[in-house]
Chain A
């Protein structure tokens, strides 16, 4: 009996020591990370993959009950990310999934998300120009929503459950709101009207219930607690309406085609490290990130009146970005010009004068 025990123990010990840690491929699911890795507002948004119970700008609980949904929309259990979820059933087993997700304000721009949805439908990505052609606006009490209607069936997908996405997206200063209906193409088409009404109703209810984070309309940041600043607009720069994220926008046509996009953006806080921001801009230009030393050597100071700006000049293959930023009074201000390399080179003196003219 004792002999058997000895052998069992020997075998057990041998089995134990033959285990190798961390040698297997693991598969798991995590909450979706915002597409943009390190936006200037990262300190204010929930970070990627967090298991926090509520995302910023989340749907106020009262809103769930205040909005009437079509009778054939069956409420579904909510996940960590979803603040509203419904299943719509049609004829012949057709279904569509309706969801409302709220992420941090740096959860990618419209084009990135539309291309992600196109990827889900097995379709190739589109350009900004094409997006402008296919997208529509839906006016809500929270501001204008971008609406897209995308069709396509991925390989091996069930046409009863997939084939079309109707989505509405909006970025507020605190959150990015995604409303989405995905499912059978015919059913999604039939439900599109109800879906858009529901989107508008949710936004209205959100405003009425005074949800602290999404109630603010995505107006340009020239209102509220953002202090006004002044500058002299250089000759040839056309002011364009700022988006919800921008304090001001300018556009300069380039001789070789295209245009230079000049933006003024401000955020509370320090807006992240210089390395994060520069590497994000490099990523937007298709360039590899650089280490902290390279970032430091690529940043120069520019003294204007009582303000010191940090500046950088990033040259890509065909595009170029010049940027200046400064931190004062608990806010960070970014001034950035991006466009075709030759055109940016030509506009650089004007950009420098523009920065020198800024008065806080």
Chain B
């Protein structure tokens, strides 16, 4: 066994050295880690690009969907998580268990857009009642004529986000409301995708289709899509079509929603790059919001987010 002795001791020394090592002093700049919703990630990556060009702060953006993004945040695998719905109690609990508080910042407004094919001439407006009838669990609606007898007797092809998506959660809450835990929140016989572009392409592809996704995806594909107006009352008299104006003015209800970023408080206080990045996000970065296709927050709401940041950072100095 003598000939193995040298090899073995070398191997053990190497493993030991790896584990013991020297503690590494981070000299390079910290890279801000962003994850989360595919609805928010276009904004985050636009801000990351400008922050890199203007301030030289590096950030990576990982598009995961709101749910998995929150999971990464709670595991401290990212500093910032984009969300298209408010954080859930369960997720908040998990973050606290891991010893930090997530801080919520509202960043912009999105209008969930229900879109159909541009050649769809019969339908311009749906009531919330009709939407609920269309999407609820075990829905009996298969054809357009099931929604309104004067509409064509053709199958509706449905496209919607999958269950990881915050867009899905928000839509279900706004349209269908509370559902029992053990039952699927909505019908299951439709094309689900985590990628909004897949939904856009699906709606583009058939005259009898219908789908819902973020406003930006409608805005940049306007020539191939038609957005439906949404009416709160049952007779459809108060129909509102999503536009920048109606969403910004708060008229497009209940499908307009705020988008959020959740920031790990610990990183915000200990890593100056994260603080600078969030600061940029809420100030100069706000000009990217409109360009990407979302609607800027009214000034009092963005001021509230800036105030939250200021107060949190004040803790650092104490």
Q: Are these two chains actual partners, yes or no?
A: no
Interface residues of chain B, those whose CB is within 8 Å of chain A, are none
Identify the A interface with B (CB < 8 A).
Answer: none
